[in-house]
Amino acid sequence: MTTTDIRPLDTPTEGPTLVRHWTGSHEDSPWIALARELSPQLAENAERHDGEGSFVDDGFALLREHRLMSMLVPSELGGGGASHAEACAVLAELGQGCPATALSYSMHSHLIAAQVWRHHRGLPSPVLERVADEQLCLISTGASDWLESSGSAHRVDGGFRIAARKMPASGCPAGDLLVTSIRWEDGPDGPQVVHCTVPFSADGVSIEQTWDTLGMRGTGSHTVVLDDVFVPDAAVALTRPADTWHPVWSTVVGAAMPLIMACYVGVAEAAVERVLGLASRRADRPETVAQVGRMHNRFTAARDAVAAMIASSDDLRFDNTVDHADVTVRRKTNAAEACIDTVRLALELGGGMAYSRRGGIERLFRDVHGALYHPLPAPTQEMFTGRHMLGAGSA
């Protein structure tokens, strides 16, 4: 075997490149082309942000400059009109350059995607036009809130007074609107959860810089502090019973998980591409050839799991059933495990140079482990799936 026989996955020997075909998107997408242009620019500062633990503010400046904040907003509402699959491909491209930028951007994107799902069903989504007009950044606290939520809400004339500490809130240093939920313990029908939107400019909103982690250090996933903040009724999107499954979560899971996990496929691909250069120096060793094959097996499994998630979300026209949510979180677990395995194998394959921080793969190895913590973590997902399969409910 020669060194030219070891090449990145899906690189053909001739003909047009069909990169990102695994997402169901097309090569001629201007959004994917833009992401390919931006990814090397993001990569220039990725290591610095990781070393400092500083927020990827320059990355978000680029996203706003190129109107990526409204990429998913339908064109009839003034947005970019990108498909769900295109957005996933964009995130995979950005994830190769700077995982922290891609991941924090995916948190904004999944909130937009959930609103696009509503738009497709003829439901009002006024925030979409605002995002298109102003390139607003939306920040989510859903991962830590989940069914039970946290904080305290008290009914007052015209709305609620809320108090909470919400963490992690990825991308919050760039945030314009916080999309969150607050527990309303003394609701009229028992404990409720109030889903609402809060401007970062509102009185009582502040950011406490608490994010100091193993990986994804540049996401700025700090704690947002809400200190006696007034939320008018007009800013409340939903009030639901606490501690039980609600269809809103089926919508969020179907919209969000393909986008989020596409970032980690990008991280895995970056590791694969970097290590092949190192492995090519030892291409005459049978164990190297076998390791390259094993790594690509796991990389293919990661892509396949995310591709299946994208396909089942049907360009944000899926039915928000528990069945759909369940199969999506199963695929999320499989994708997370396969992405982590891919980068671990790359680290082994690259030898001492890969283990060195100068090699870049060490950082990717730390970053890819963030996949473990998105909803649902594997033990929780297995309980969720087991209960659903046995007809025991979904809470």
Average pLDDT over residues 304-326: 97
The three-state (H, E, C) secondary structure of the chain, written as one string: CCHHHCCCCCCCCCCCCCCCHHHCCCCCCHHHHHHHHHHHHHHHHHHHHHHHCCCCHHHHHHHHHCCHHHCCCCHHHCCCCCCHHHHHHHHHHHHHHCHHHHHHHHHHHHHHHHHHHHHHCCCCCCHHHHHHHHCCCEEECHHHHCCCCCCEEEEECCEEEEEEEEEEECCHHHCCEEEEEEEECCCECECEEEEEEEECCCCCEEEECCCCCCCCCCCCCEEEEEEEEEEEHHHEEEEEECCCCCHHHHHHHHHHHHHHHHHHHHHHHHHHHHHHHHHHHHCCCHHHHHHHHHHHHHHHHHHHHHHHHHHHHHHHCCCCCHHHHHHHHHHHHHHHHHHHHHHHHHHHHHHHHHHCHHHCHHHHHHHHHHHHHCCCCHHHHHHHHHHHHCCCCCC
Q: What is the pLDDT of residues 168-197, one digit of tens each?
A: 999 999 999 999 999 999 999 999 999 999
pLDDT at 354: 78
* Per-residue pLDDT reduced to its tens digit, 8-56: 333 333 333 344 568 887 778 999 999 999 999 999 999 999 999 999 9
Predicted local distance difference test score (pLDDT) of residue 11: 35
